[in-house]
Structure 1
Amino acid sequence: MTAREPAAGEAVPGRELPSNADAPAANADAPAASGDESGQPRYEPAPGVGKLLLWVLLFVLAAVVVVVGGVYFG
């Protein structure tokens, strides 16, 4: 029989949950980032074609460097 993980906020035997009654809210003045007025979550816009191509070329260059280094030094 295996022990299950306690759910978030569930008491663990032998441990007390910390009391946050005295602590101020961490981001009390920060706006909520849950979404816009319609309730839809906000997402980052997709990268442009040029930026995406630059990342692909960077990873291809890194792969070539690894392969050439392995052949030369291996």
Structure 2
Amino acid sequence: MPELDASFEHLLKLAQGESYPEEIKKLQGNKPVQKSSKIINLNPFLDERGLLRVGGRLVNSSFDFDKKHLIILAGEH
């Protein structure tokens, strides 16, 4: 159901924008996330849809993309 997927993605972007606005802004400008960020250790990056995801060593694993690069959400979400 494409409309449910689109709605879910929109809600994820809203939650991430609320919790990590500075990190998203930096990554959109192809700049590194500030060292004081709470998520710096996750090696965050924006995927092709603009979702904030975990980077790191799992990039070399055989898992599919969604398992290798989990979507980052703050605890209150």
The structure where strand makes up a greater share of residues is 2
User: Which range, TM-score by smaller chain?
Assistant: under 0.3
The structure where helix makes up a greater share of residues is 2
Which of the two has higher C-alpha Rg? 1
What TM-score, normalized by structure 2, do the two folds share? 0.24
What TM-score, normalized by structure 1, do the two folds share? 0.25
Q: Larger RCO: Structure 1 or Structure 2 (Cα < 8 Å, ≥ 6 residues apart)?
A: 2
